[in-house]
């Protein structure tokens, strides 16, 4: 069974890297959004530093949503998803493998690019340290919760808009705590409570989301 999960992971990863245009699309969107903000609000270091946590996190959430619709869509269209359901194998492990692939493809490049974004927006070192911690802990939550909404709408022809409408309100608490942590770091205050809350939300999602995704996929097939 572990070999099956590894095979699904390798297949999804290879498919993602074959579609290089879609692979670069979230990253390009993130860069465009972050680069447009200084033009709109002015290049002042103080202003950019003040808005930088919200800008990077909002851009990360929106760029992650771009590739969310295709998480299960290809498997649904070619019948692979139906075969996996009929096989009787636990879908929770397959769902977790697909979520991990989405995180690697969509959010890991953003985390790797974050030092450049932090310098561009004049973030201080404590602010960047808080930002990287919140991104590492919070972006898996985006993939896990996003996969539930994607699984529910996988049978719809144009479900991307519905996925965005479902997810954006759910992501607001994460956005609040993540930006609050970076702002606390800017004021040289402890941001441990915010990080603890984000960690708790991610752990809860990691424990429950695979089963919710599995159930949603089965419902979408009927």
Q: Where are the domains of the chain?
A: 2-220
What is the pLDDT at residue 66?
A: 80
What is the pLDDT at residue 39?
A: 83
Burial of 55 (0-12, 13-18, 19+ CB in 10 A): buried
- pLDDT confidence tier of residue 200, bands split at 50, 70 and 90: very high
What is the pLDDT at residue 126?
A: 93
Task: Work out the average pLDDT over 194-202.
Answer: 96
Per-residue pLDDT tens over the stretch 50-109: 899 999 999 999 888 887 877 777 777 777 777 777 776 778 888 888 888 888 888 988
Indicate whether 154 pLDDT > 90.
no
CA dihedral 201, 102, 64, 81 (to 10 degrees): -100
What is the pLDDT at residue 129?
A: 94
- In this prediction the pTM is 0.87
Per-residue pLDDT tens over the stretch 12-60: 656 555 566 566 777 888 888 888 888 887 778 888 888 999 999 999 9
What is the pLDDT at residue 92?
A: 83
Residue matched to tokens 């949603």: 216
- pLDDT confidence tier of residue 142, bands split at 50, 70 and 90: very high
């Amino acid at each position: 069974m572990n070999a099956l999960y590894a095979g699904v992971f390798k297949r999804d990863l290879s498919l993602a890297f074959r579609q290089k245009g879609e692979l670069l699309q979230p990253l390009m969107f993130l860069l465009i959004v972050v680069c447009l903000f200084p033009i709109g609000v002015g290049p002042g270091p103080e202003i950019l530093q003040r808005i930088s946590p919200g800008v990077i996190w909002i851009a990360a959430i929106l760029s992650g949503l771009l590739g969310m619709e295709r998480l299960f869509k290809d498997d649904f269209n070619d019948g692979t998803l139906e075969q996996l359901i009929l096989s009787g194998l636990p879908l929770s492990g397959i769902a977790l493998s697909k979520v991990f692939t989405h995180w690697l493809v969509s959010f890991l490049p953003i985390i790797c690019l974050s030092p450049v974004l932090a310098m561009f927006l004049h973030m201080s070192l404590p602010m960047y340290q808080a930002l990287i911690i919140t991104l590492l802990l919070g972006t898996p939550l985006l993939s896990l919760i996003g996969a539930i909404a994607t699984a529910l709408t996988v049978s719809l022809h144009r479900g991307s808009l519905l996925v965005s409408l479902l997810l954006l309100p759910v992501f607001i608490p994460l956005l609040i705590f993540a930006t609050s942590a970076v702002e606390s770091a800017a004021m040289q205050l402890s941001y441990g409570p915010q990080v603890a809350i984000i960690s708790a939300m991610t752990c809860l999602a990691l424990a429950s989301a695979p089963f919710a995704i599995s159930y949603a996929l089965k419902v979408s097939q009927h």
